[in-house]
Structure 1
Amino acid sequence: MSKVTGEPTLEGIDDYNTLKGEKKKIVWAVIIAGLIIGSAYVIASKVFTNAEDNLPVQESIKSIPVK
């Protein structure tokens, strides 16, 4: 079988294993911050969204008045 060379592999990327020290900490901090912010958003949307507070609207707009 022939190997497909059109798609890059992780080993072929130049900086695959070169994240060290401060760069690695920054990458992990961004990932963790994204997870925390996303989790806070999901929790807030579950807590503050109440379907019982919504009023059903029965009317529809048939024409838009123009001056």
Structure 2
Amino acid sequence: MQDNEPTLSSIEDYNTLKGSKKRIVWAVIISGLIIGSIFVAAKMMYGDVNDSLPVSESIGKVPVK
């Protein structure tokens, strides 16, 4: 029975990528880093919530059907 699952030793095909395939891999990595840094910057700028409403009630029993 042939096992088609990749192993760590067989996933070395990045070194054999040429041309546009290698550029696409780098473009995906760089775009992921850029999008992640945008989210981190937005979280740092707008992360504080100053207008939250305090809730003093607690749920005693949740009705279950």
Fold-level similarity (TM above 0.5): yes
Deviations 1:1-22 (A, max 9, x none): xxxxxx632xx44624211100
Taking the aligned partners of 2:12 and 2:40, their CA distance within structure 1 comes to: 36
Deviation at 1:52, TM superposition (A): 3.1
Taking the aligned partners of 2:21 and 2:53, their CA distance within structure 1 comes to: 50
Length-normalised TM-score, structure 2: 0.65
Return the structure number with greater relative CO, CA threshold 8 A, min gap 6.
2
Letter in 2 for 1:30: V
Q: Give runs of ≥4 in structure 1 deviating > 6 Å.
A: none
Partner of 2:35 in structure 1? 37
Q: Structure 2 regions of 5+ residues with no counterpart?
A: 1-6
RMSD (Å) for aligned C-alpha atoms: 2.5
Partner of 1:58 in structure 2? 56
Equivalent pairs, count: 58
Aligned in 2, Cα 1:45/1:39: closer, same or farther, shift over 3 Å? same
Length-normalised TM-score, structure 1: 0.64
User: Does residue 26 of the first structure (1) align with residue 24 of the second (2)?
Assistant: yes
Taking the aligned partners of 2:60 and 2:29, their CA distance within structure 1 comes to: 48
- 3-state DSSP of counterpart to 2:17: coil
